[in-house]
Each structure stands twice: as C-alpha cells, then as structure tokens.
C-alpha cells in the first residue's frame, strides 16, 4: 500500500475539541494527570487522537502540525501535557496562511506535497492546501481513526508520481 510520507493535522477542532484561544493558559496537570487550564477547566483531546498518532508513527509516517492559532504559547504548552511531542516531527504553529505553513513543512521535510495528507476542520484551509497537491480531508467533528484509515486507503489508491 502506498502511504503518505507525512500526515499533517490542524490542532483546534481537529486533534482537540476547542480553540486554544478560548481556554486560559497556563495549562497544568492535576494529581490524576488530567489537563486543566488556569481556571480549572478540563481540556482534553478527541478520543482517537493518541491512537491515530501512535498508529501513524508506528507505520513510519512522519507527523506534522499546521495551526493558525494566535495562542501559540498555549498550543505549544498543551502538546507535552498531552504527551504528543513524541509523535510530532514538524510543527508550524503561528497565525497566518496555511500555505505558508505548508511551504515551510515541505522545505523542512523535503517531502513533495503529493506525498502529504492534511486534516483540518476549516474548508478554506482545505481549499488552499489542496491547490498545492496535498491530499486534504475536511474533519467535521474531530479526527477519528476510522476517517484516517479510510483516507489512507484513498491515498494509496491514487496514483502518485
């Protein structure tokens, strides 16, 4: 099966069910390893996030992040609290165009756009990045293992040069 060399995820409403700028850093873990914001509000990942990242990582597929959040420090603080950094090879987390993120991801990784897959919850980002030749997937209600596996099958059935 032909697999992408890198799968890139948005963060907000893709890997976790909130916008980072709508919760209050600094973030921390309580005694039971639950991640909380500064007000004590629990923040969490979508239920399949860790399983998805583990599966891709174990298949040798590189994982990247592309987020336009204005809460850059908060997003970067959450990644180790959720133990996600062990899976992530490339991170582009800052406001601006996702096209800029992908140009940097392509340059840093050396992978062609056609060897990448991208999951995001916003149609405008899917439209912009698909024009680069990336296999893009709109995520309506958070990423799921089923969706990722289905899209890996779609990716493998496409002819790539």
Indicate which residue of 12, 37, 115, 120 is catalytic.
12
CA distance 109 to 78: 23
Residue 73 known to be catalytic: no
Indicate which residue of 10, 37, 115, 120 is catalytic.
10
Residue 30 known to be catalytic: no
Which positions are annotated as active-site residues?
10, 12
């Amino acid at each position: 099966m032909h697999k992408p060399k890198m799968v890139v995820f948005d963060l907000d409403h893709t890997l976790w069910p909130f916008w980072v700028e709508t919760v209050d850093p600094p973030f921390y873990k309580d005694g039971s390893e639950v991640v909380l914001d500064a007000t004590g509000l629990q923040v969490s990942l979508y239920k399949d996030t860790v399983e998805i990242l583990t599966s891709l990582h174990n298949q040798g597929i590189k994982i990247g992040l592309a987020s336009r959040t204005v809460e850059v420090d908060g997003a970067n603080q959450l990644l180790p609290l959720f133990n996600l950094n062990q899976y992530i090879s490339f991170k582009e987390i800052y406001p601006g165009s996702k096209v800029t993120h992908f140009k940097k991801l392509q340059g840093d990784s050396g992978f062609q756009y056609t060897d990448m897959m991208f999951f995001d919850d916003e149609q405008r980002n899917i439209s912009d990045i698909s024009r680069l030749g990336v296999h893009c997937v709109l995520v309506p209600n958070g990423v799921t293992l089923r969706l990722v596996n289905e899209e890996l099958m779609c990716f493998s059935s496409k002819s790539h040069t």
